[in-house]
Each structure stands twice: as structure tokens, then as C-alpha cells.
Structure 1
Amino acid sequence: MLERTTVSFAREGKLVTARIDGPRLPLSPSPRSQVVGWVPQITAALRSRGLPSELEDGISATYIHAPLPEGRKLVITPPQEPAEEQPPGAWVALAEREGEPGCEMWWDSQTTGPDHAHLGIAPLLAAVDRRLDDLGVAQRPDPRPVLNEVGTHPSLYRAGFVPVEAPTGRFFRLPLAMADPDGQHRAVTRAVESLRFEGFGVRCPPQLLSDDPRALHLNRAELFGLGQLPQFVRDHALHTRDVVGALDEFASPLDGMLAQAVETLHAAADWWQDLDGPDTERHVYRLHLMATQIERSTEEVRALRGELADRHTDRPLLPRAGARAVRDDNSSRAQAARSVSPSARHTPPTGTPPSAQPPASQPPPRHRR
């Protein structure tokens, strides 16, 4: 087993595959808790630096305590009363020594605090990390974000790869109908560059890579942006890969809009959990339920996206709106329709009277918006 999550690309028969190897690290704990939603995220960050933590329930908030190497204690908590005057995402982190008055403030994003312009858990943890560095606390094994198998999926999806569930485990491959070597090499190159940017290890034969600068360009769906995707799919998608790229903007793991919606609904439910009210439990349940339903639908979208990707073909040319069908007056079916009997012979008219001339085609009416 490798010490670092690595994606290996290879040509296996007619397939170009991507197989993931390395430590199967779990995803970072999702900030969901029946008590306090933010606890797992902060305790996991402290634990990754060797600091065990304990919880203490206060009158109006929960405290996280962690021992510091010089005998002090790190305390992290949301702001105390009055909570209604504090914005969501405000935090306090301080170092204190038991039995001694006073403390050293490490972070204060309360309304009156020096860090009030920086809300959220990420800047809090970044400030705590800087203080721990100053104290000589051991670094995380890898200072980059936790790298795991699932973290490779967005890069592979957006490069056009399709996930395959096999008895030996999951792997990714390029679409079955993508037989053009240049297209294969561009897709592999895009995946490789994205994975390296994210910090993953990559093994790839040079012959699978491309020198074509188009390999690193955004796909057409990304160029149009989320707000224009419906129009893009209707009017500008020329190939199945265009529609696949549009679907990936929503269904890509971790960074797709549907995945973000699921996490947002769960986070909103956790936030609501602490509010008083007769309907709190019902509303929290509904938010979690909607998130679960979206998650299931997202899996269906990904499955259909894989089916479409395997087609890998241009969009069929469609007749323009209002175009007249071409008549074939000499076809055997047309001649039979004109015949009075099987032995009758059709004699085309020598001329058509003016009254029988077909009316000139009129342009379709314009609809006002």
C-alpha cells in the first residue's frame, strides 16, 4: 500500500483506465452532530496535530478543551451571551493556565473582537495552526488537506472519465466510444494536471499524455458558466461530452452543485437544531430528509451521465424549424399512391394552372417576449 493516494493511468486493451491506490483515508468528518454540529470538524483538526480534546457543556455553549505542551489549555467556543448579537460563524479561541488569572487570546471574531471580519471555522483553525506552530507542536503528517480516494473523483469526472464498479473494486475509464487517440490523450492530460494540482500522486506513461494546449482548456460547459447551462445544452452542445460537462457542474462529487446543496441542507439542519421552538425537530428532520433525497437523485444523474459519456458522439443534425420536407415524387411508394390500379400508368401533367400553384411560404410569426 502506498503512503500517498496515487492515481495510475494505463492502456488496458482498448480501454484507458485510471486506478486509485494508497491509504483509504476516511473523508473529513462531516460537521453533523446531534449535540453541536461543529464539534467533529474542530476536534478532528486538533487530533491531526496530536492534541486530544474534551468537551464541556456550559450554560449557553459547548467548550472544546485541548492540552498545550507548556501546561496551558486551549479553549475553543462559540461566543457567549448575548448570542443574538453575534453573527453565525463567530468564534473565540484562547490559551489559559488553570488556577491563574487572565488568558492569551488566539482568535476573537465576535462582533467587538479584532477578527470580526473573518467568520467561519476555516480562518479560526488557520489562526490556531499558526499558534501551534509557534509552540513547536508537531505538524500534520501532510499539511495539505486530507487526501483520500474520494478526493480524486472530481478531477477524473471533469476530465471525462466514467466510474466502473467491478468485483475487484472501483476504477475509472474513458468512454467506450472514445477511440480517437488525440482525444484520449487530452482527457488524460487534463486529469493528470488537475490531480497534481490537488496534491495527489500520479503515475502515467508519457505516451498517454498530450502536448496539445487544448488539453488544459476549460470544457465548453465550464466556459458558459452555471447560469447559462440550460441554454448551452439546448442550443450550443454539439457533442455528448458537452452535455456530460454540463451535468458534471451539478453532479460532480464534492464540488458539484448538488453535492454542495446536500452539505448545505445538512449544515442548515445542524444550525437549526440549537434553536428553541415547538417545530424545531420537525424542521430539522425535513432538512436532513431533503438532503438525503437530493443525494439519491445525484447518484442517478451520475449513472445516466456515465451512459451518455459512453455514447461519445456528435449531436445529430436536426431539421431547422419550419423547413419543408423534401418530396420524392419518383419513389415506388409515391408512384403506387398515385396509381388508380396496379396496371395504371401515371402521366405527369404538362403544366400546372396558376390557381394550383402552391402558396409562397411565409416566414414563421415572431413571438413577442
Structure 2
Amino acid sequence: MTEPRDAIRTARRVVVKIGSSSITAPQGGVDLYRLQALTGVIAKRSLQGDQVLLVSSGAIAAGMTSLGLTKRPKDLATQQAAASAGQGGLMAAYTNALKLHGLNAGQVLLTADDMHRRSHYVNASRTLEKLLELEIVPIINENDTVATDEIRFGDNDRLAALVAHLVNADALILLTDVDALYDGHPRTPGTTRIPVVSSMEEITGVDISATGSAVGTGGMVTKVAAAQLATAEGIAVLLTSAEQAVQALAGEDVGTLFLPTGRKRRARSRWLAHASSVNGRLVLDAGAVEAVVQRQTSLLPVGVTRVEGMFRSGDTVDLCDPSGAVIARGLVSYDSTELTRVVGRRLDTATASARSRGGSAVAARTVIRRDDLVVL
């Protein structure tokens, strides 16, 4: 009989995310002992023939000592300076630690823009695939030195989930400073560990509002959100502490296991559903919703009732039902101004309708092709 944690034990490709507080000291700087313990665990799994990618926070915390800081800076410019000062030392520590096990490390720095843009997304995927093919352990982090508030991931938990999508991972392990998700505050008497989560509805009433550590940015909210993002694409997620990394990667009963809630989709669909940047919304009538969701057809102008936002042909837009709930996402073939002139029209009357409303004729065509659309 298959056990739930076999999903972790037998995973051939694993993404491991480690938080800042688990590899750095509270006042900043890399904790070499803890970092070497982590790389030892990763090396063991890698030397067994599995592929492991590490998404590591810690660049800003590692650079704090160089800048004479004892608390994580709050302004973006100082964060970028700290990341610049710390990223090299953090990577050197990983490189040296992995070499002790006969493994090489490769640094990959990403921004949210690399995920949003399809060409960048594909290039990042190719790079990671080549590193794995060459048996190099990818060490991935957000490129904090150039990221701005507008194009940040926000936390490395989300980045880890998107990397798991990017490489079609079998499992994602989130290592943090707490050992599991609990049904209440961990320090409150009577609270118990939640060993397995089969669906997000099971933890609707669980308080996950606790904030992260002094040197990190995440908290339980970001970790549960990352788990939801990954499990939706058929990826098992284990949340536990860095101290239990050995047991976690061995598939033992530690932490909280989030079971997959969806099936794995093709790479293009994963990007469209979770990583692309949405630039507008199309509200559909009931018939179009049924056609898109149930019959999985392309979207035609006749099914669109309202256009919201400004977008260009080729941009990503959300498709909404009459109540405004998002039901799908796709790459639109019209500019927003063009589409506004043909909404609700059949293809054989759309061009004539556009002429009658003034302006140049709009070539009647499918709004979103089925191959460019994903149901959420």
C-alpha cells in the first residue's frame, strides 16, 4: 500500500527551500555550521541519484555584518546593498560546503520579470535543466540587488514554488524555523501538529498569521500560499524545520505534508496559470463560461460582455464569469481598444460592427485560442 510520504521518499527531482533564519545568525552573517549541515543532507540525496535544487534565502542577512547592521534593513536601497555584499559570501559558503562531498554548485539569480516573460521563463528552464544534466546543484535566489518593489517575488517561498513549476519537480520541501503547521499557535497548550493536508479547505480555520523571523521576510502565510501554488500542479509539499531536514528528505513522518490537489500540466500551461503577468480582465456570459470551462473551446467575441483594463495583443488576461470570479487565463489576440469594439459580436458580423462604430475595421478573429488558454 502506498503511503502519502512516499511522494517525498521516491521523488526523483526535489526543490528544497531554506529560509534566512535557518542558515544565518540572528544578528546577520552566515552560520557555517548550519549551512554545512544542510548541504550534507542535500549531498546525500544527490549522491543517491536524485536531482536536488536549492532555493536559498540569506543574501541580505549575510551582508548585514559587512554593512555594520544588526537588524534587517527596511528600505529597498539598503536591502539591495546588503544583498550585493552578502550574495558572494553566501555562494562561496555553499560552493565550499558542497565540494566537501564532491559536488559542484551553480548560482542562478532570478527576478519576477524572469518568470513573467515567456522567453525569460524558457531560458531559465533550459539553464536549470543543463545544470542538472551536468550534475551541478543549482543554488537559486531572488536577484535582490536589482529587483524593485514592483517586480519582486515578495518572498522566496513563492519563488520556490515557481521554480518547482519551472523544472517540473516531483516534490517541494520548505525548511523553516518551525517544525510543522499546527492547529493553533505552537506555544499554546493543547495544540497539535497537522501531519497531512489533503486540501486547503481542511486548514481554513487554522491561524497562520504569525510573522517570520527578524532576518527573513516570510511567515506561515507565505509558506501555505507556496504549498497551494505547488500542489495545484501535482507537486507534493513538505513543510518542516531545517533541523529535521534529514528526516524530511528520507520521507519520515515529520512536519506537515501537503498532498497534490491538481494534476501536472504542460510547461506552457503552468507558466500561463501561475507566472505570467496579468494585464486585464474579460467578463464572459454564462454560455461562454460553459464553453471555456466544460467544453474547453476557444473564446470568441460573442461570449465577451465587458473588457476591463488596458492590454495589447499577446498579453495575459483573466477570464471572469458574470459575477466577476476568475475562471481561466489566456493570451489575448486583440488590443483592448480593438476588442471593446467587437464584444458580443459573432465572427461574421464583428468586422461590420466595428466599421459601423467608426474607426478602422477590426479583423474578426478568435479572442483567445484554446492552446493559449488555461482553466483555473
Structure with more strand by fraction: 2
TM over 0.5: no
| TM-score between both structures, scaled by the size of structure 1 | 0.23
Question: Normalization by structure 2: what TM-score?
Answer: 0.22
